[in-house]
Amino acid sequence: MDHIAAEQRKHKDISHMMDWLQGEEPDEGIPALASPPSKHMWLNRQLFSIIEITLYRADPEDRGSTFGGTPTPSKGSPKVRARCTNGGTSGG
């Protein structure tokens, strides 16, 4: 998982989301001025969660993987992990 987190940290849009989820929420103007993928992730932030050091995104079409609170990788579907490793913003 460390290599996935390292690659996520290198990605400018994903690293913004990780920073926002781990720290204070950004001022409303910051996501508004961000790139379209960053803005999309921020507007849908309820679908994202950080487990240990890796960012996960629930698949809204897969009811078994939607994060109500804190997600656990063992309960997430393979789609959750695949989407995160492929940039986390694919539309399906």
In-domain check, residue 92: no
In-domain check, residue 15: yes
Q: What span, in angstroms and rounded, lies between the C-alpha atoms of 19 and 68?
A: 21
Phi/psi at 3 (nearest 5 deg)? -70, -35
pLDDT tens-place string over residues 28-62: 888 889 999 999 999 998 888 888 889 998 876 76
In-domain check, residue 90: no
Of the ranges 7-11, 48-52, 80-84, the best mean pLDDT one: 7-11
Sorting pLDDT into bands at 50, 70 and 90, what band is 26? Answer: confident
Rounded to 10 deg, the angle between the 12-22 and 2-10 helix axes is 110
In-domain check, residue 70: yes
Sorting pLDDT into bands at 50, 70 and 90, what band is 64? Answer: low
In-domain check, residue 91: no
Q: How many domains would you assign to the chain?
A: 1
Phi/psi at 84 (nearest 5 deg)? -65, -40
* Domain assignment of residue 62, given as a range: 2-85
Q: In Å, how far are 11, 13, 74 from 41, measured between CA atoms?
A: 13, 8, 23
